[in-house]
Amino acid sequence: MIDDGDQKRNLWDEPMQVPDEEIVATVPPTPYTQAQAAASLQRAVWLVLAFAALGAPVAWYLRGWQSACLLLVGAGISASGLYEWRRLMTALLHRMDAQDAVQASLPQPVPLEDRKAPSIGFAVAGFIVRLGVVIAVLYASLRYLHGSVLALAAGLAMSVLALLIEGLRLLRSGTI
């Protein structure tokens, strides 16, 4: 409440008055396209590979070659996960675009790449097969490489860090 002499008014009930000179034109964000999403995930894969190249020598120096190998195993799993998500996302988006085009009786959309759009069945099957391979690789690496589990966890967390960096980059550019 503000006391204006004889009247008391509540600031929350009144609309905010902004002088015309303070109104700034805002630029609407550009739409986030399928190509941008695929490029973001590809950059995230490259970031994971760069983190692995930088982190493996550090892990080797601090904990030995076994820990460096565990870090590389974790980074490989992270990078393959990002790659599979990109592949699955591309297949799903192509499928949704094709369904939208059929419903609107428009011509079929042209795929992002020159090759044929990926099949949703192959993408899901590859994703499931990858999960089985990841479990086998994790088991074998923990059983036979007696390194630091923290190095493995650091390798697995590299994809989260890479996606965080990509998300911040997209926020800063105003894309999302």
The full 3-state SS of 92-140, as one line of letters, equals HHHHHHHHHHHHCCCCCCCCCCCCCCCCHHHHHHHHHHHHHHHHHHHHH
Residues of the chain with pLDDT > 90, as a percent, come to 45
pLDDT, mean of residues 134-145: 93
Burial class of residue 147 (count of CB atoms within 10 Å of its CB; 0-12, 13-18, 19+): buried
Q: For 48-100, write each residue's pLDDT tens digit.
A: 999 999 999 999 999 999 999 999 999 999 999 998 888 888 888 877 776 66
Range of the domain at 149: 34-173
Is residue 118 included in any domain, yes or no? yes
pLDDT at 173: 83
Residue 26 within a domain: no
Query: 């099949």: which residue's tokens?
Result: 119
Write the pLDDT tens digit of every residue in 12-21: 566 666 555 5
> Would you place residue 123 in the very low, low, confident or very high pLDDT band (cuts 50, 70, 90)?
confident
27 within domain boundaries: no
- pLDDT tier at 119, thresholds 50, 70, 90: confident
Looking at the domain assignment, is residue 161 inside a domain? yes
Whether 24 maps to a domain, the answer reads no
What average pLDDT does the structure give for the chain?
81
Judge whether 130 lies within some domain. yes
Comparing 25-34, 105-114, 141-150, 165-174, which segment has the lowest mean pLDDT? Answer: 105-114
Residue 116 resides in a domain: yes
Establish if 92 belongs to a structural domain: yes
Rounded to an integer, the average pLDDT of 117-144 is 88
pLDDT for position 155: 95
Kind and range of the H or E element at 63? Answer: helix 34-63
Size (the chain), residues: 176
Cβ count within 10 A of residue 52: 22
Total count of domains within the chain: 1
Residue that has been written with the tokens 């000179």 in this structure = 21
